[in-house]
Structure 1
Amino acid sequence: MNTFVNIARFQYSSEAQIVKGKLQSEGIQVFLVDQVLIDTDPLVSQAVGGIKLNVYTEDEERARAILKEIESYSLDDEGRPVICPKCESALVKVYTHIKDVRSFLAFLFSFLTFALPIHYKYDYHCENCEENFSLNEQEN
């Protein structure tokens, strides 16, 4: 009996499709869960846990190795890796959120007009030490 294992989650289907294509080109069968739901309304992505990328259990190790090869981390505006201010690791990923009135109003406008969000605030998360930080804080 074939069972599945979740090996990654994505906020948008375009990200999931790129990784799915890479894994399929390596002969690994991939199943995306909640893709249609999030394509219908991208604003629910965080509420449902994103698009889940599942593979057969027997392909998990090989799929994770491929993901590790292509995993991308955040770059600053000059193309340099973002460095964690706490542990100086480059294993930093960017996350978007609604934090202030401007972000909330943009979210509300997007929600009411069925448009994609047009204003985000970005925070960074270090996968090495679990530190959350902003580039604005890092520059000050």
Structure 2
Amino acid sequence: MKDYICLATFTYPHEYLVIKLEFENAGIRHYFQNETLIGLLPLSSVAFGGIRLMVHPSFISKAKQIIDSLNDKSSHLRIV
């Protein structure tokens, strides 16, 4: 897990649910660092540096494509 790269940071768990589903469907190896801790103590998110999306280096380009497609203004699953 030390080789994984931080691709994005989120403050609360509800902000990344669509990304999580898209990554699982695409078979992208990833995990969310601090996910459980911030789920239990949501007001401490800033203190812990947020929830980090960690992606395996071999899936970086595919992961960026998915994130970019979700940030597209025409996407109905747009990330806020």
AA matched with 2:19: V
Task: Verify: 1:28 aligned to 2:28, yes or no.
Answer: yes
Equivalent pairs: percent with the same residue?
29
Q: What is the match of residue 65 of structure 1?
A: 65
Structure 1: where are the runs of 5+ without partners? Answer: 74-93, 95-140
User: In structure 2, the residue corresponding to 1:8 is in which secondary structure?
Assistant: strand
Q: What is the match of residue 15 of structure 2?
A: 15
User: In structure 1, the residue corresponding to 2:64 is in which secondary structure?
Assistant: helix
Of structures 1 and 2, the one with the larger relative CO (CA 8 A, separation 6+) is 2
Provide the aligned length of Structure 1 versus Structure 2: 73
AA matched with 2:64: R
Q: Is the 8 A contact 1:12 1:50 kept in 2?
A: yes
Q: Tell me by how many angstroms 1:20 deviates.
A: 1.1
Q: Which structure would you say has the larger Rg? A: 1
* Equivalences for residues 1-140 of structure 1 within 5 A: 3-71=3-71
**Could you tell me how far apart the structure 1 residues matched to 2:43 and 2:72 are?**
23
Q: Tell me by how many angstroms 1:23 deviates.
A: 1.2
User: Which structure 1 residue ranges, 4+ long, deviate > 2 Å from structure 2?
Assistant: none
Q: Is the 8 A contact 1:16 1:51 kept in 2?
A: no
**Could you tell me how far apart the structure 2 residues matched to 1:16 and 1:30 are?**
12
TM-score by structure 1 length?
0.47
- The answer to which structure has the higher helix fraction is 2
